[in-house]
């Protein structure tokens, strides 16, 4: 068993696998992920900072979903909106 610390609430817990979210916060993370995916469907060329500002969540959380492979990068051109 591994000792883990939840990145959302800071609770320390044991788990058989390395994870950074406790069972109580998994629902919060799932809802956050759904909001991000919904936003990206509407604004597909958004970067992590734009997503974080629009949804009022930390950019760290957006980047964590990206690092965990839950979100994919795309390479394209970006334009600044007026």
Q: Is 5 contained in some domain? A: no
Q: Is 39 contained in some domain? A: yes
The residue segments making up the domain with residue 46 are 23-71
Q: Is 14 contained in some domain? A: no
Question: pTM for the full model?
Answer: 0.74
User: Is residue 80 pLDDT above 70, yes or no?
Assistant: no
Using CB atoms within 10 A of its CB, is residue 61 exposed (0-12), middle (13-18) or buried (19+)?
buried
Per the structure, the count of domains in the chain is 1
Q: What angle is formed at CA 7 by the lines to CA 34 and CA 74, rounded to 5 degrees?
A: 45
Q: Is 1 contained in some domain? A: no
Q: What is the pLDDT of residues 12-66, one digit of tens each?
A: 988 888 788 888 888 999 999 999 999 999 988 888 999 999 999 999 889 988 8
Q: Is 57 contained in some domain? A: yes
């Amino acid at each position: 068993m591994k000792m883990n610390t939840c990145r959302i609430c800071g609770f320390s817990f044991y788990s058989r696998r390395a994870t950074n979210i406790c069972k109580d916060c998994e629902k919060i993370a799932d809802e956050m992920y759904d909001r991000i995916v919904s936003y990206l469907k509407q604004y597909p060329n958004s970067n992590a900072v734009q997503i974080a500002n629009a949804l009022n969540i930390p950019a760290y959380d957006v980047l964590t979903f990206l690092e965990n492979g839950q979100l994919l990068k795309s390479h394209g051109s970006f334009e600044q909106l007026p």
